[in-house]
Structure 1
Amino acid sequence: MATERDPLILNEAQDHRPPGPRDISRSTRYGILIGLWSATFLSVMLPSISSDFNKSNQASWLGTSYLLAVCTFTPLYGRLCNIMGRRGANQLAVCIAALGTLLCGFSTSMELLVVARFLSGMGGGGILTTCTITTSDMYSMRSRGLAQGVQSVFNGLGMGLGGPIGGLISDRFGWRWAFLIQMPFFVLSLALTTYNLRYVTPGKSGNTKDVLKRIDYGGIFSLLLCVGSCLVFLSMKYNEDLPLVDLDQWSNRWVYVPLALACIFSVVFILVELLVTSEPIMAPFLLKQKVPVLVGANNFLVSLCNFSVMYFFPMWFQTVALTSASTAGLHLMPNSVCMSAGSLFAGWMMHRTGKYKLINLIFGFFPFIGITLITLLRKDSGPLQMWLSIVPLGFGNAIVLQTNLESSMAVGTGFAQLFRGIGQVGGVAISSALFQYKLDYELRSRIHGDGAAEIVSRIRHSTTLLGELPPDLQHAARESYAIGLRAVFTLAACSALLAYFVRLPIPEKNLDSPPKETDTQPKSINPGAESRALPPPQWSPRRGERGSIFSALEPTECTYMRLESASIGGSARQ
């Protein structure tokens, strides 16, 4: 409504300036969200793919290589969102992920496939990061939970459909098409973001060269080498068939050299974070505070639990129940549906009450119950237990992740993301090492006679071989796989229970509380007017208070972030 203070003639440049993230129309906002979410829609069945190369014992490398890239390169995209704009950073991530996925489809060896998966992870982590940042732009903290709940529904459908569709495609047309079929979704994502993602985020601009210098390259590189060396050690010690020297595998250089390098680069990473970089991805001063440490420990344990189960639960049906890859993947569908329902429920509750502690306490125990039911699975278990035992895990974890996101925003998204990434990599690598160790031990204790070593090696290298074995060998192999997988699920159950107790001391945070002095964006006078653009933030970061969503310490309300380039707006070049 016009007042006597409004100018009679509007400034033409101001009238035609690009809209802010809360000025855009509802249809444009939905177009942006669909474009962002469509890039993460499908997943693939990793064990069946690795079996095509007759290297099922290396299946974890398909996951760990992807997650290693996500863990180490994700912090870059917080800066890139400010340097390139939201649209530029997102499209860069989508292009890298699409290129990696395309190379996966044309890989001719397991080694090339692992490298291609690493490239996919470099883009995949950026897709998730830019999606989180853009959603934070467009919604207030209280409404953000509901928006992210809808996002989890979309991603949950992708996870649920990706497994059976990927398995069905692998069974019918070959594993390559499980990758290639994802390409249209990347194209759709690029088209929708190009057309819709054009808002500009207000904020203080800076020099791009200076911003690039503030990226913690030393920390990222040393973390990559530390975690990568640890993965090589675990793989060589437990997954590979290495020649033994004096019957002692520890004497093989492919075992002790990666372990030594992992220790060395862990020390280098700590020294870089403490003494060298000005804006570390793991802020040392946060390790002295209770809440950041608890949030980081919870993220590590929850991620370890989730990825241990997600990567090995379908394998139980392929190797113990002897189902097809598509049927095995279909058993993840109840988990995906319940994750979607749990995310929506948590988002709705936070939007309605402005609190999240109580539902975390009540439903945070569900994952432990679900994994316990999974651990009790047997070959002769009934269909209800086989199909529904994973339901409490999916529903409970969705609520835990959704409510824990609010705690992460209060203490440092980058800090929390670092521990989450390490937990994801560790969940696959540690559980794979444990599984291969138990599987090898059980197979060797059950299979004897001439050619036993070769038979054991063939069974470990291909999950599809079990259906072709003679009855006595098949029984021994299925029992061995069952014991190995039960050890993985027991590890996940312990991790889920420990995570529950770690979360208990984390205090409640009112999502309607006024922002602190360190907030990047003052709240609107009218809290209900989410579609109105807010003025640029008046904020100058001190040490420990950074200007990026993936910085060490994140302000309470991180809807808006400081721009880093004078020539690039929040989402597109001006």
Structure 2
Amino acid sequence: MSTSHERAPLLPRIDIAIHKKRLGPHEISRSMRYGILAGIWMATFLSSVNMTLVPTMLPSISSEFQKSHQASWLGTDYLLATSTFTPLYGRLANVLGRRGAAQVAVLFTGLGTIACGLSTNMEMLIASRFLAGIGGGGINTIATIVVSDMYSLRERGLAQGVASVFNGFGLGFGGPLGGLITDWFGWRWAFLCQVPLFLISLSLTTFNLRYVTKGKGKSAIEVLKRIDYFGSFTLLISVGSMLMFLSTRFNANLPWFDARVIVPLALSIVFFIVFVVVEIYIAPEPVLAPFLLKQRIPVLVGISNFLVAICNFTITYFFPMWFQTVMLTNASTAGLHILPNSLSMSLGSVFAGWMMHRTGKYKMINLIFGIFPFIGTVLISQIHEDSGWIQSWFSIIPMGFGNAVVLQTMLIALLAHIPESHMAVGTGFGQLFRGIGQVGGVAISSAIFQWKLDSALRERIHDPDAEEIITHLRQNARAIGTLPPRLQRIARDSYAVSLKSVFFFASVSTLMAYLARLPIPEKDLDSRPRSNSAPSLPPPASVPSSSLASKRRSRDVEGEHDQEQETEGECSEELSASTTPDSEISEAEASFPVSRSPTAMPQRRRRLSTFESTEGILDLESRWIGGSARTGTSVTD
């Protein structure tokens, strides 16, 4: 009795300590939740700023390095890195944990941004932009996954809508801020001034993103083994070669049979085929998640994301050019015409989230507002020199508002139609198609524009030095204002025809996206219970610490076999052992396997996606990187 009395005061403390260690994403405090959101949304804003920051800075950068022919890669290589590495973060969120994956994304983007500001030549600047893009796409993916962790399916629509406000503001203010800072302090400071914000984001993420999710830890070696290096490499070469082909064939206007045209095209096709083969048959944990390609809803959502991103980036990059080349406004005024698009995207995201939160439905608002982008792009394609200020400033609003509604509703539709344990990889799947669409929107529309501009100029210019004039006008749009009246009129008309072809391409893309979404069915957003919280264990009232340690070691050894079908059984054995009397501990331990003979060990089988578990998300046993998402990891670690 005395022994029991002496131990009694200690039991509540053990109970409280264990429960403190096991706070899941739905049990964390409001201040911690807001700290997490502040950190990831600040990073989201910075990532979006970097997407649209460079175009207004290109003249200053080109004049310093005297390599204007390479300047276009400053934008496309960032998007190339984003589209290539985005799908990796869906699985990094599983194997590194939410905090670890978020830290990797923010660190890559921050270091790349610092390197951009310190670059001494164009090649270093291009490489730095690629480095920043590696983390840029991951930031948006991790932000989506974290919000999905902390909110129910019905609530997360509104939360994602608020997140898109930061994304929209970043896209809208990136160009004006880049031009303003460049005029005042120089283009390098447009990159360097972001560093304090990256540090704040990293700090908020590190010290707040500490909730635990279900699963067991893996060593760093296991994490490195499970990354699909070959799949990521083949995707990078395929997309990069396609960009090179479009640039050499249409931007540089090289003939089809030139080796600089044929070789990139062939490489793109070959490496794409290799990528598909690797993802379907070879990679043990492919980044593409082939099992989602066999499901109708994820495929339709991916197609919609791809076409919507093409529309968005086509208009974002070429709509300001209309005012600079056809209307002859200055660069700052031309850039401001894209601002209504960003503001309408923010409003559309919040509206879609609020409607889904209020009604629990997404199908109807998608059908109604999903046609808005087509209306907006048609209005843009009808613009002309005598258009009034209403069409010039507000015709882009339906596109921004409608596409924001579409992206929010399609994300929720995707998550509603896949298991909760596949939420992270499903998010990466959707982001992959969106990222490739962003690259395609810039590259394909640029090819269409250059091809049409070359044809239009050759139809109108027949001077003796026509070839030199055409080349000059295609490479330097700012020179139009300095031309003689006759040539200026020709150049403005040629640019108008070419830009309208690009706007028509955007209209076709968004209409096809609308048709692709029609078969996606409605699903009740309240039908899925929360299942990603950490399990609450009963207090180990009579389990000696040595027995718990022994069982934990046994569980880790068993975990090395990496079999999903055993994960649930192992956890249930531990739960039952936690309440086993002392007299029965030895029997329970005897029934818990510590090692197996080679003949009894199940064969490892190939994963159909990133690491999948019936319990949900996995993480590392690390004090700083990723340790927060492993069940049983202390919050104070």
TM-score, L = length of structure 1: 0.87
1:297 equivalent in alignment to 2:311 = no
Q: How far apart are residue 60 of structure 1 and its match?
A: 4.6
- Asked if structure 1 preserves the Cα contact closer than 8 Å seen for 2:291 and 2:609, the reply is no
After TM superposition, the structure 1 stretch with the greater mean CA deviation from structure 2, 170-179 or 233-242, is 170-179
**AA matched with 1:150:** V
CA deviations on 1:419-442 (whole Å, 9 max, x unpaired) are: 222212111111111111112222
- Aligned in 2, Cα 1:545/1:223: closer, same or farther, shift over 3 Å? closer
- Aligned in 2, Cα 1:125/1:539: closer, same or farther, shift over 3 Å? farther
After TM superposition, the structure 1 stretch with the greater mean CA deviation from structure 2, 150-159 or 183-192, is 183-192
Please show how residues 18-417 of structure 1 align to structure 2 within 5 Å. 19-41=23-45, 42-43=49-50, 44-52=52-60, 53=62, 60-240=72-252, 242=254, 249-409=255-415, 410-411=417-418, 412-417=426-431
**AA matched with 2:617:** R
Indicate the residue corresponding to 2:511 in structure 1. Answer: 497
C-alpha distance in 2 between matches for 1:118 and 1:7: 55
Q: Identify unmatched segments of 5+ residues in structure 2.
A: 1-8, 419-425, 538-563, 570-603
- Asked if structure 1 preserves the Cα contact closer than 8 Å seen for 2:168 and 2:343, the reply is yes
C-alpha distance in 2 between matches for 1:151 and 1:271: 36
Indicate the residue corresponding to 2:493 in structure 1. Answer: 479
Indicate the residue corresponding to 1:245 in structure 2. Answer: none
- Aligned in 2, Cα 1:293/1:20: closer, same or farther, shift over 3 Å? closer
- Asked if structure 2 preserves the Cα contact closer than 8 Å seen for 1:167 and 1:326, the reply is yes
C-alpha distance in 2 between matches for 1:391 and 1:189: 31
Q: How far apart are residue 522 of structure 1 and its match?
A: 3.1
- Asked if structure 2 preserves the Cα contact closer than 8 Å seen for 1:51 and 1:461, the reply is no
Secondary structure in structure 2 of the residue aligned to 1:440: helix
1:562 equivalent in alignment to 2:617 = yes
Q: Identify unmatched segments of 5+ residues in structure 1.
A: 1-5, 243-248, 516-520, 524-531
- Aligned in 2, Cα 1:485/1:45: closer, same or farther, shift over 3 Å? farther
- Aligned in 2, Cα 1:241/1:181: closer, same or farther, shift over 3 Å? farther
CA deviations on 1:322-345 (whole Å, 9 max, x unpaired) are: 222222221121111111111111
C-alpha distance in 1 between matches for 2:464 and 2:450: 22
- Asked if structure 2 preserves the Cα contact closer than 8 Å seen for 1:47 and 1:463, the reply is no
C-alpha distance in 2 between matches for 1:105 and 1:372: 39
**AA matched with 2:400:** G
Secondary structure in structure 1 of the residue aligned to 2:26: coil
Secondary structure in structure 1 of the residue aligned to 2:312: helix
Percent identity of the aligned residues?
58
Q: How far apart are residue 122 of structure 1 and its match?
A: 0.3
Q: How far apart are residue 490 of structure 1 and its match?
A: 0.6
C-alpha distance in 2 between matches for 1:328 and 1:182: 24
**AA matched with 1:273:** E
CA deviations on 1:218-269 (whole Å, 9 max, x unpaired) are: 2111111111111111111111265xxxxxx122211111111111111211
**AA matched with 1:320:** V
Indicate the residue corresponding to 1:419 in structure 2. Answer: 433
**AA matched with 1:233:** F
1:465 equivalent in alignment to 2:479 = yes
- Asked if structure 2 preserves the Cα contact closer than 8 Å seen for 1:340 and 1:398, the reply is yes
Q: How far apart are residue 138 of structure 1 and its match?
A: 1.5
Q: How far apart are residue 362 of structure 1 and its match?
A: 0.4
- Asked if structure 2 preserves the Cα contact closer than 8 Å seen for 1:20 and 1:200, the reply is yes
CA deviations on 1:365-424 (whole Å, 9 max, x unpaired) are: 000000111111112211111100000001100100000001222343333333222212
C-alpha distance in 1 between matches for 2:609 and 2:505: 37
Report the structure, 1 or 2, having the larger helix content. 2
C-alpha distance in 2 between matches for 1:573 and 1:430: 50
After TM superposition, the structure 1 stretch with the greater mean CA deviation from structure 2, 111-120 or 421-430, is 111-120
C-alpha distance in 2 between matches for 1:270 and 1:310: 31
- Asked if structure 2 preserves the Cα contact closer than 8 Å seen for 1:60 and 1:428, the reply is no
Q: How far apart are residue 154 of structure 1 and its match?
A: 2.0
Please show how residues 5-20 of structure 1 align to structure 2 within 5 Å. 9-11=12-14, 13-14=17-18, 16-17=20-21, 19-20=23-24
- Aligned in 2, Cα 1:496/1:177: closer, same or farther, shift over 3 Å? same
CA deviations on 1:480-506 (whole Å, 9 max, x unpaired) are: 222211111111100100110110001
C-alpha distance in 2 between matches for 1:172 and 1:477: 31
Indicate the residue corresponding to 1:446 in structure 2. Answer: 460
After TM superposition, the structure 1 stretch with the greater mean CA deviation from structure 2, 392-401 or 187-196, is 187-196
After TM superposition, the structure 1 stretch with the greater mean CA deviation from structure 2, 442-451 or 132-141, is 442-451
Q: How far apart are residue 102 of structure 1 and its match?
A: 2.5
CA deviations on 1:66-111 (whole Å, 9 max, x unpaired) are: 1111111122223333443322322222121122222333445544
C-alpha distance in 2 between matches for 1:223 and 1:361: 33
- Aligned in 2, Cα 1:9/1:343: closer, same or farther, shift over 3 Å? same
CA deviations on 1:248-305 (whole Å, 9 max, x unpaired) are: x122211111111111111211221222112223344443433232222112111111
Q: How far apart are residue 447 of structure 1 and its match?
A: 2.7
C-alpha distance in 1 between matches for 2:636 and 2:480: 56
After TM superposition, the structure 1 stretch with the greater mean CA deviation from structure 2, 34-43 or 268-277, is 34-43
TM-score, L = length of structure 2: 0.79
After TM superposition, the structure 1 stretch with the greater mean CA deviation from structure 2, 179-188 or 431-440, is 179-188
Who wins on radius of gyration, i.e. which is larger?
2
**AA matched with 1:24:** I
